[in-house]
Structure 1
Amino acid sequence: MKILITGGNNAKALKLMKAFPSHFVLLADYGDVPGIITEKYAFSTLGVLNKDSIAHILLNFCITEAIDCIIPLQRYEVEPLAKSAVLFGEYGIQVLLPDADVVTGYLSDEKQQFQYFAVYIHGDCIFSSEENFAPKKLSASFNGVFGYDNANDLKLFTI
């Protein structure tokens, strides 16, 4: 599986890579990005930032790079991608976000530094940075990467 993590120039993106040790991870960002390619990961540029066409830019990039799953870390990408998740799905690309009608409830009003993060796919926690985390099964439509200090207060892991 090939996973795209946006905000690739940020330390949060690098932290998130450890959740996917058996997948190829493409760390991408807008503007200048270091040209590094390894067996398990690579960095790539998404080109010039244009917030008015984020979903279009990312869909084109995902199709071109044969991406299977996208994890948007930039806050300004979250709502446009959640609203476009069905379109991405038609191309076989999973957008790892909660449904568009509830996604804003998982956004924090301010930038936060979380002690832990967890990755949920179809309601199952597939990874947590907290060793003793006991996740509960959530709705099958519950997807995303969430930061938390308290497991009862999950917020999207954004930059």
Structure 2
Amino acid sequence: MNILITAANSASAYRLKNQLSDNNIIMGDYMDLPDFMLKPGKMVRLPDPKSVSYTHEMLTLCLDLGVEALYLLRPQEMELIKQSEILFNEYQIKIVAGVNEI
């Protein structure tokens, strides 16, 4: 089972990663990430929530990466994805908004 945690450039994302203690965790962010962080494969660049097709881009990325749980740490991401939670559920992708719902 792969887990995708957003807001990879924040301390809360790394705290969550340590709490989950799973080897199949992928960190991602749409904000600037240094290229050296993206090369190892456990960090991905996410679509920008300002994109009109953000939800579909995120769903495609989750399916490509085999994600079964998506932890959304930024309010803008949460708001957009929660509107399409049924779509993600159809593909057995669990949406978890924020770190308080672990």
- Same fold per superposition (TM over 0.5): yes
CA distance in 2, matches of 1:54, 1:30: 11
Amino acid at match of 1:2: N
Q: 1:45 to 1:3 in 2, by over 3 A?
A: same
- Could you say what secondary structure the match of 2:67 adopts? coil
Aligned-residue identity in percent:
30
Contact 2:49–2:77 (CA under 8 A) maintained in structure 1: no
Q: Which has the higher helix share?
A: 2
Residue aligning to 1:37: 40
Contact 1:55–1:80 (CA under 8 A) maintained in structure 2: yes
Residue aligning to 2:54: 54
Paired residues in the alignment total 97
Contact 1:3–1:23 (CA under 8 A) maintained in structure 2: no
| TM-score, with structure 1 as normaliser | 0.54
Residue aligning to 1:73: 73
Structure 1 position 50, deviation (Å): 4.3
Q: In angstroms, what is the RMSD of aligned CA positions?
A: 2.0
Unaligned runs of 5+ in 1: 98-143, 147-155
Q: 1:83 to 1:75 in 2, by over 3 A?
A: same
Amino acid at match of 2:15: K
Residue aligning to 2:86: 86
Contact 2:49–2:80 (CA under 8 A) maintained in structure 1: no
Larger gyration radius, structure 1 or structure 2: 1
- Could you say what secondary structure the match of 1:8 adopts? coil
Unaligned runs of 5+ in 2: none
